[in-house]
Amino acid sequence: MVGENGAGKSTLMNVLSGLYRPDAGEVWIDGTQVHFRGPGDAIRRGIGMVHQHFMLVPPLTVAENVVLGREPTRRGLLDLEAAVDQVGETCRRFGFKLDPRARVEDLSVGSQQKVEIVKALHRGAQVLILDEPTAVLTPQEADELVAVTRSLAADGHTVVFISHKLREVLSVAERIVVLRRGRKAAEVRASETTAEALAELMVGESNAAKVASQGARAPAGPVALRGEAIDDGVAVHGVSFTVRAGEIVGIAGVDGNGQRELAEILTGLRPASGSLRLMDTEVLGASPGELRARGLGHVPEDRLLRAIVGPMSVEENLALGRHGRPPFARGPFIDFSGRRAHAASLLESWDVRPRDPSQRIAALSGGNQQKAVLARELDADPKVLVVVQPTRGLDIAAVRSVHERLRAHRDRGAAILLVSLDLDEVLALSDRLYVIFGGRLSVELAREDFDERRIGRMMLGAT
Amino acid sequence: MKRVFHGALPSLLSIALALAICFVALALSRSDVHLATDAYAQMIFGGVGDFPSFTESGRWGVLTRPWGESTSRAALLLLTGLSVAVAFSVGLFNIGAQGQMTVGALLAAVVGAHVSLPAGIHPLVGLLCAALAGAAYGSIAAVLKVRRGVHEVISTIMLNWIAVNLIENWLVTGPLRAHSEGTVSIAGTDQILPTAELPRLLSDGSRIHLGFPIAVLIALALWAWLSRLRHGFETRAVGLGPEAARTAGIPVERRIYQAMALSGALAGLAGGVLVLGTEFRFPAVLGAPYGFDGIAIALIGQNHPIGVAVSALFFGILRAGGTRMQLLGVHKSFPELIQGLALLFVAARYVWRKLLSGRAARPSPRSSEVQRA
Amino acid sequence: MTPTRSILFYTAAAALILIPGCKKSEERSASEKPAGTVLKVGIVTDVGGRGDQSFNDSALRGLELWAAGKKYTGTGYVDTTPAEVKATLPPDLAARTPPIEKLPGVTPLVLQSRAQEDYEPNLQLLADQGAGLIIGTGFMLENAIEAAAKRNPDSKFLLIDSPLLDAAGKPFTLPNVRTVVFKEEEGSFLVGAMAGLVSKDGRVGFVGGMEIPLIKKFEAGFKAGVRTTRPEATVLTAYTGSFNNVAAGKQVAQDLIAKGADVVFHAAGSDGLGVIQAVKDARAAGRQVYAIGVDSDQSHVAPDAVLTSMVKRVDLAVYETVRDLAAGRFTAGDAAWGLKEGGVTYAPVRIDFPQRAAVLEKVEDLRRQIIEGSIRVPATDADLASFKP
* pLDDT of amino acid B270: 97
- Mean residue pLDDT of chain C comes to 86
Q: What is the mean pLDDT of residues B139-144?
A: 96
Of C265 and C19, more confident? C265
Q: What is the mean pLDDT of residues C123-136?
A: 93
From C22, C76, C118, residue closest to B329, measured CB to CB? C76
Nearest chain A residue to B241 by CA distance is A309
* pLDDT of amino acid A217: 55
Specify the fold of C184-312+354-385: Rossmann fold (3.40.50)
* pLDDT of amino acid A110: 80
Q: What is the CATH number of domain C39-182?
A: 3.40.50.2300
B72 touches chain C (CB under 8 A): yes
Please give the CATH superfamily to which domain A223-459 belongs: P-loop containing nucleotide triphosphate hydrolases (3.40.50.300)
ipTM: 0.84
Provide the pLDDT confidence category of residue A177 given band limits of 50, 70 and 90.
Answer: very high
From A306, A332, A334, residue closest to B247, measured CB to CB? A306
Assess whether chains A and C touch, using the rule of 3 or more C-beta pairs within 8 angstroms.
no
- Does the pLDDT at position C31 exceed 50? no
Q: Do A6 and B363 touch (CB under 8 A)?
A: no
| CA Rg value for chain B | 22
B358 touches chain C (CB under 8 A): yes
B270 touches chain C (CB under 8 A): no
Q: Do B283 and C116 touch (CB under 8 A)?
A: yes
Q: What is the CATH number of domain A2-203?
A: 3.40.50.300
Q: What is the mean pLDDT of residues B272-295?
A: 90
> What phi, psi does B273 have (nearest 5°)?
-65, -40
A309 touches chain B (CB under 8 A): yes
* pLDDT of amino acid C23: 41
Q: Do B247 and A269 touch (CB under 8 A)?
A: yes
B interface test, pick of A334, A356, A365 with most B CB neighbours within 10 Å: A334
B23 touches chain C (CB under 8 A): yes
Chain B 314-353, residues with CB within 8 Å of chain C CB atoms: 320, 323-324, 326-327, 329, 332-333, 336
* pLDDT of amino acid C309: 94
Collect all residues of chain B within an 8 Å Cβ-Cβ radius of residue C173. none
Provide the pLDDT confidence category of residue C205 given band limits of 50, 70 and 90.
Answer: very high
Give the 3-state secondary structure of chain A. CEECCCCCHHHHHHHHCCCCCCCCCCEEECCEEECCCCHHHHHHCCEEEECCCCCCCCCCEHHHHHHCCCCCEECCEECHHHHHHHHHHHHHHHCCCCCCCCEHHHCCHHHHHHHHHHHHHHCCCCEEEECCCCCCCCHHHHHHHHHHHHHHHHCCCEEEECECCHHHHHHHCCEEEEEECCEEEEEEEHHHCCHHHHHHHHHCCCCCCCCCCCCCCCCCCCEEEEEEEEECCCCCCCEEEEEECCEEEEEECCCCCCHHHHHHHHCCCCCCEEEEEECCEECCCCCHHHHHHCCEEEECCCHHHHHCCCCCEHHHHHHCCCCCCCCCEECCEECHHHHHHHHHHHHHHHCCCCCCCCCEHHHCCHHHHHHHHHHHHHHCCCCEEEEECCCCCCCHHHHHHHHHHHHHHHHCCCEEEEEECCHHHHHHHCCEEEEEECCEECCCEEHHHCCHHHHHHHHCCCC
Residue B254: CB atoms within 10 A of its CB come to: 12
Q: Do C120 and B284 touch (CB under 8 A)?
A: no
Q: Mind listing the pLDDT tens digit for each residue in C218-250? A: 999 999 999 999 999 999 999 988 887 889 999
Please work out, in degrees rounded to the nearest 5, the angle formed at the alpha carbon of residue B320 by the alpha carbons of B319 and B321: 90
Chain A 178-197, residues with CB within 8 Å of chain B CB atoms: 181-183
* pLDDT of amino acid C24: 42
Sequence ranges of the domains in chain A: 2-203, 223-459
Q: Mind listing the pLDDT tens digit for each residue in A38-85? A: 888 888 899 998 887 788 888 889 998 988 877 888 887 888 888 899
CA distances from B294 to B224, B311, B321, B343 (A): 21, 10, 19, 11
Sequence ranges of the domains in chain C: 39-182, 184-312+354-385
- Does the pLDDT at position C124 exceed 50? yes
Q: How far is A83 from chain B (nearest CA, A)?
A: 33
The DSSP element (H or E) to which C114 belongs, if any, is none
Q: What is the mean pLDDT of residues B156-182?
A: 86
Provide the pLDDT confidence category of residue C34 given band limits of 50, 70 and 90.
Answer: very low
Provide the pLDDT confidence category of residue C47 given band limits of 50, 70 and 90.
Answer: confident
Provide the pLDDT confidence category of residue A206 given band limits of 50, 70 and 90.
Answer: very low
Measured in whole angstroms, the distance separating CA C37 from the mean position of its chain's CA atoms is: 29
Instruction: Tell me the count of A-B CB pairs closer than 8 A.
Output: 96
Min mean pLDDT across A139-153, B296-310, C214-228, C285-299 is at A139-153
Q: Mind listing the pLDDT tens digit for each residue in A80-121? A: 888 899 999 988 888 888 899 999 888 887 888 889 999 989
* pLDDT of amino acid B352: 65
Q: Do B34 and C125 touch (CB under 8 A)?
A: no
- The amino acid at residue B301 is G
Q: What is the mean pLDDT of residues A128-156?
A: 84
Q: Do B248 and A324 touch (CB under 8 A)?
A: no
Q: Mind listing the pLDDT tens digit for each residue in B54-92? A: 888 888 888 888 999 999 999 999 999 999 999 999 999
Of B107 and A11, more confident? B107
- Does the pLDDT at position A383 exceed 90? yes
Instruction: Tell me the count of B-C CB pairs closer than 8 A.
Output: 148
* pLDDT of amino acid C167: 80
Q: How far is B62 from chain C (nearest CA, A)?
A: 7
From B228, B240, B371, residue closest to A333, measured CB to CB? B228
Q: What is the mean pLDDT of residues C112-127?
A: 90
Interatomic CA distance for residues C228 and C365, integer angstroms: 12
Q: What is the mean pLDDT of residues B12-28?
A: 90
Nearest chain A residue to B231 by CA distance is A332
From B245, B249, B371, residue closest to A23, measured CB to CB? B371
Touching subunits of B (3+ CB pairs, under 8 Å) are A, C
* pLDDT of amino acid A447: 85
Sequence ranges of the domains in chain B: 2-361
Nearest chain B residue to A184 by CA distance is B371
Interatomic CA distance for residues B330 and B341, integer angstroms: 17
Provide the pLDDT confidence category of residue A463 given band limits of 50, 70 and 90.
Answer: low
Collect all residues of chain B within an 8 Å Cβ-Cβ radius of residue C159. none
Q: What is the CATH number of domain B2-361?
A: 1.10.3470
A11 touches chain B (CB under 8 A): yes
Chain A 327-366, residues with CB within 8 Å of chain B CB atoms: 329, 332-334, 353-354, 363
Assess whether chains B and C touch, using the rule of 3 or more C-beta pairs within 8 angstroms.
yes
Of B275 and B185, more confident? B275
Q: Mind listing the pLDDT tens digit for each residue in A231-263? A: 998 889 999 999 999 999 999 987 778 899 999
B interface test, pick of C26, C27, C116, C162 with most B CB neighbours within 10 Å: C116
Provide the pLDDT confidence category of residue C138 given band limits of 50, 70 and 90.
Answer: confident
Nearest chain B residue to C30 by CA distance is B52
Q: How far is B127 from chain C (nearest CA, A)?
A: 18
From B13, B179, B326, residue closest to C169, measured CB to CB? B179
- Does the pLDDT at position B359 exceed 60? no
